[in-house]
A and B are shown apart, each in its own frame.
Chain A
Amino acid sequence: MSKHLRPNTAQNSSKQSVERSLSDEFASDLVCGRFSSWTTVMASDYDGEQRRIPLRLRSEWSDVTPVPQDDGPNPVVPIAYTEEFTEVMDYFRAVYFADERSPRALSLTTEAINFNAGNYTVWHFRRLLLESLKADLHSELEFLEDIAKGNSKNYQIWHHRRWVAEKLGPQATNRELEFTKTILSMDAKHYHAWSHRQWVLQALGGWEAELDYCGELLEEDIFNNSAWNQRYFVITRSPILGGLKALRESEVHYTVEAIMVHPENESPWRYLRGLYKGDTSSWVNDPQVASVCLKVLHSKNNHVFALSTLLDLICHGFQPNQEFRDAVDALKTSDFDKQDPDLAGNVCSILERVDPIRANYWVWRKSILSQAA
């Protein structure tokens, strides 16, 4: 990056706090974007003597008249922009409104993105420029990597990256898989990174090692639901593995093992159910499903998911034998109503007691049972 890009960092600490407060989850997904990676990118090599030179003092911009923002006389939610921010955006508006497809316009978008990577208009114009100027897209990926180092939970970065990778085609596959891997090594549940990775696999390929990658991440953190989701994505969509039905047996085995280690882990329970999506009768009739429920019920510990799975099985026609009735009976407490002759009803009652945050839901499930009967 050129010395032109060096910012005044006075406001960085408060800026970071806004970024942090908004960096969570859906804030990043619903709103258009919200951070600049400036601090992190520049802080390490910031040098007070090499201050950023204002655009108005750069000879190459002398012919351009900046266009101020049309905020009106009394704007609401007015932002106390820094002088540099205002200047960059004023020049950006000038080139954007004039649709100037020039190298200097491209470098101006770099500056604007460094100040606010959430400005989708700037990114959009940058794509037009990259096309018009037939710019090198590999260095564009490098630029994106720099930006993402600060805070990668930004919609624009990932949309832009998808656009670049799509232009590059299959030659970009490995780099994209590696890039997402790096991001996921810092945040293994990064929503945008996973979406991008799925897009890469589907659009460019590279499925070969993906199931192993999921396995590695699950080995590290068996509670990582994003890795379970990716595993599901691979077994249902990989063109080389043969599809869900071909893999079901081994996947059930893997999942049951995971459940037995941590019966309180919701992810494998959901995954197990997912393995029979669209094939309820196999789910109801596979002895491995009923058996994992029974084993967990016998352990008398962390059995909410075992009970709820059993309830769903019964609702879908599963015929529980005496062993299930005994296991459920053993979970009742002395002060607990034992009059309910119906096993599903008993399961609901136990869940109502052991899972109080969902008591209303279990009461309702029970009421549905009697309606059906």
Chain B
Amino acid sequence: MDPAKGSSPTVTQRDQWMVESQVYDIYHLFATIPPNAQSVMLELLRDRHMEFLIKGLTHLGSAFCVLDANRPWLCYWILHSIALLGESVDDEMETNAIDFLNRCQDPNGGYGGGPGQMPHLATTYAAINALITLGGEKSLASINRDKLSNFLRRMKQPSGGFRMHDEGEIDVRACYTAISVASVLNILDDELIQNVGDYIVSCQTYEGGIAGEPGSEAHGGYTYCGLATMILINKVNRLDLPRLLEWVVFRQGKECGFQGRTNKLVDGCYSFWQGGVVALLQKLCFVINKQMASPDSQEESLDGTSYDESCRSGQTDSSNSYPVDFNNIGYRFIKECGAEEHLFHSIALQQYILLCSQEQEGGLRDKPGKRRDFYHTCYCLSGLSLCQYSWSKYPDSPPLPKAVLGPYSNLLEPTHPLFNVVIERYYEAHEFFSKL
């Protein structure tokens, strides 16, 4: 570490400066134009995004052969984006989507990447979220919950992790997709939850964020998956939340967007993954405060107090003896515990999404210079929605105009921060599956 080396930039520095200069050019231009031109620049290009999305539902070029094992994902990315925009697809398209996803459903439970493919947890998550987003009796009733439950149990490992598919890889993504699906379908129970908390805790790194596997590097996508899982299984207090929070707020950079890992480049999709982590943590301030008040208790072992209990009683009670209604955690998370702090710069993030991630022809992207795609469109819009409602006590109450950057018509539908489906569709699914 020769100090002289400090003068010749490293790869990380060069890449970072290049992106910074591209982003600053855009912000500089924005700062120098008149206010009416600024509001045009900040406008969410709803019609063009819709055009891009609808086109994708009806036709994908041969370049998409490489996504042939991800078709439920394509359905979810597109349908969820449409729902965030407050739009819906016509009846015929809805019928076609339900029929298609049903062809991806395995006779023994779960959904594959396309008709005839093995069931996979990630595509199962995507298919379920797509069907919830479509909504309605026909869509929700098309899910074979009993078989799906068998599939989840088949993927479960004694370590607490899950496999993505038969003989597939084990990681935090698999935990989240399994637990999220089980929670929303009202089939989550003690057996499925067994040791999951241990596995996720073993993936929290010295940096504070969560990695894909024990030992790997803290990463925004896995951190979202890990944190959301811990909330859904009522074990969030086992994570070191002050360190997690400190790590995630440092992922928002000068470019105003979020990066996925320390010293990596900004990317619009982390508006949701990292922004989602902050949105979740904002609702856990009570638990974070408590951990911070007795910082050293962390080391002995976190007392196992659940978010659930803390929320209701406001007291530490280490006994988890009474049965927890796992299937209501997702519902109560947004309905109760309204007290929250504002912990990140939501206006800055909206600025990055609107000015740097939007393509003029429709669709959203990673960063200037990259091309739009459905994945980034979905997660940039999801992040934008989280930002807009991040000051609201309840996600279903309309935010104040100052919380929404650009014209108020930019306002999207609110999304459930644990499942990432539009809240209203989540309520419908929750009601539907509570009765089964």
Q: A residues engaging B (CB < 8 A)?
A: 11, 14-15, 17-22, 24-27, 29-36, 67, 69-72, 74-82, 85, 89, 93, 96-97, 115-121, 124, 127, 155, 158-159, 162, 188-189, 191, 194-195, 198, 202, 218-226, 229, 232-233, 237, 254, 257-258, 261-262, 265-267, 270-271, 273-274, 277-281, 308, 312, 315-316, 356-361, 364, 367-368, 371-372
Instruction: Report yes or no: B68 in contact with A78, Cβ–Cβ below 8 A.
Output: no
Which single member of B62, B66, B298, B345 contacts A357 (CB below 8 Å)?
B345
Q: B323-354: which residues lie under 8 A (CB-CB) from chain A?
A: 341-345, 348
Instruction: Report yes or no: A274 in contact with B206, Cβ–Cβ below 8 A.
Output: yes
14 further contact pairs, Cβ within 8 A, besides A15-B63, A124-B168, A364-B343: A14-B63, A15-B65, A15-B66, A26-B221, A26-B260, A30-B173, A77-B100, A79-B62, A85-B65, A191-B217, A261-B1, A261-B3, A361-B245, A372-B293
Which single member of A31, A270, A281, A316 contacts B70 (CB below 8 Å)?
A31
Closest B residue to A128 by beta carbon equals B167
- Contact flags B45-71 to A (C-beta < 8 A → 1, else 0): 000000000001111111111111111
Interface: B409 (CB within 8 A): no
Most buried by B among A32, A81, A117, A367: A32
Interface: B186 (CB within 8 A): no
Instruction: Report yes or no: A116 in contact with B96, Cβ–Cβ below 8 A.
Output: no
Closest B residue to A202 by beta carbon equals B215
Q: B212-242: which residues lie under 8 A (CB-CB) from chain A?
A: 212-213, 215-222
Q: How far is the CA of A97 from the CA of B256 in the complex (A)?
A: 50
Interface hit among B150-158, B366-374, B394-402: B366-374
A21-B373 CB under 8 A given contacts A271-B206, A316-B295: yes
- Contact flags B281-306 to A (C-beta < 8 A → 1, else 0): 00000000100110110110000000
Q: B residues engaging A (CB < 8 A)?
A: 1, 3, 5-6, 10-13, 56-71, 73-75, 78, 92-93, 96-97, 99-100, 103, 112-118, 120, 122-123, 164-169, 173, 205-208, 212-213, 215-222, 245-247, 249-250, 252-254, 256, 260-264, 267, 269-270, 273, 289, 292-293, 295-296, 298-299, 341-345, 348, 365-366, 370-373, 375-376
Instruction: Report yes or no: A82 in contact with B62, Cβ–Cβ below 8 A.
Output: yes
Tell me the minimal C-beta distance from A127 to chain B in angstroms: 7
- The 4 A-B pairs at the shortest CB distance, nearest first, are namely A274-B206, A26-B221, A223-B12, A221-B10
Tell me the minimal C-beta distance from B300 to chain A in angstroms: 10
A78-B212 CB under 8 A given contacts A25-B221, A120-B113: no
Closest A residue to B67 by beta carbon equals A34
Which single member of A24, A277, A308 contacts B370 (CB below 8 Å)?
A24
8 contacts between A and B (CB under 8 A): A14-B61, A21-B365, A27-B373, A29-B219, A72-B96, A75-B103, A118-B68, A224-B12
Which single member of A121, A278, A372 contacts B69 (CB below 8 Å)?
A121
Which single member of A159, A224, A371 contacts B289 (CB below 8 Å)?
A371
Most buried by B among A261, A270, A358: A270
Closest B residue to A262 by beta carbon equals B6
Tell me the minimal C-beta distance from B244 to chain A in angstroms: 13
Give every chain B residue within 8 A of A360 (Cβ-Cβ): 341-345
Instruction: Report yes or no: A198 in contact with B371, Cβ–Cβ below 8 A.
Output: no
Q: How far is the CA of A237 from the CA of B213 in the complex (A)?
A: 14
Give every chain B residue within 8 A of A158 (Cβ-Cβ): 169
Give every chain B residue within 8 A of A80 (Cβ-Cβ): 59-62, 64
Give every chain A residue within 8 A of B6 (Cβ-Cβ): 261-262
Give every chain A residue within 8 A of B252 (Cβ-Cβ): 357-358
Instruction: Report yes or no: A26 in contact with B123, Cβ–Cβ below 8 A.
Output: no
Q: How far is the CA of A278 from the CA of B74 in the complex (A)?
A: 43
Instruction: Report yes or no: A119 in contact with B63, Cβ–Cβ below 8 A.
Output: no
Which single member of A18, A20, A159, A357 contacts B169 (CB below 8 Å)?
A159
Instruction: Report yes or no: B165 in contact with A79, Cβ–Cβ below 8 A.
Output: no
Give every chain B residue within 8 A of A72 (Cβ-Cβ): 96, 99-100, 103, 115
Which single member of B93, B254, B273, B343 contacts A361 (CB below 8 Å)?
B343
Instruction: Report yes or no: A77 in contact with B75, Cβ–Cβ below 8 A.
Output: yes
Give every chain A residue within 8 A of B264 (Cβ-Cβ): 25, 189, 225
Which single member of B58, B215, B217, B256 contacts A78 (CB below 8 Å)?
B58
Most buried by B among A77, A198, A258: A77
